[in-house]
Amino acid sequence: MSALRQVLYGLALLGALALFIWGQQQRINVARQATELAQHDAKAAREDAARNLNTATTLNRTLNLERQAQSQLRGLHDQLRQGLAQRELQIEGLKRENTALRDWAAQPLPDLARRLRERPALTGADAYRQWLSGRGAMPTASDRPKP
pLDDT band at 142; cut points 50, 70, 90: low
CA–CA dist 6, 13 (Å, integer): 10
What is the CA 1 to chain-centroid distance, rounded?
89
Task: Work out the pLDDT band at 112, boundaries 50, 70, 90.
Answer: confident
pTM: 0.47
pLDDT tens string 21-40: 999 999 999 999 999 999 99
In the chain, where the domains are located: 2-106
Check if the beta carbon of residue 27 is closer than 8 Å to that of residue 34: no
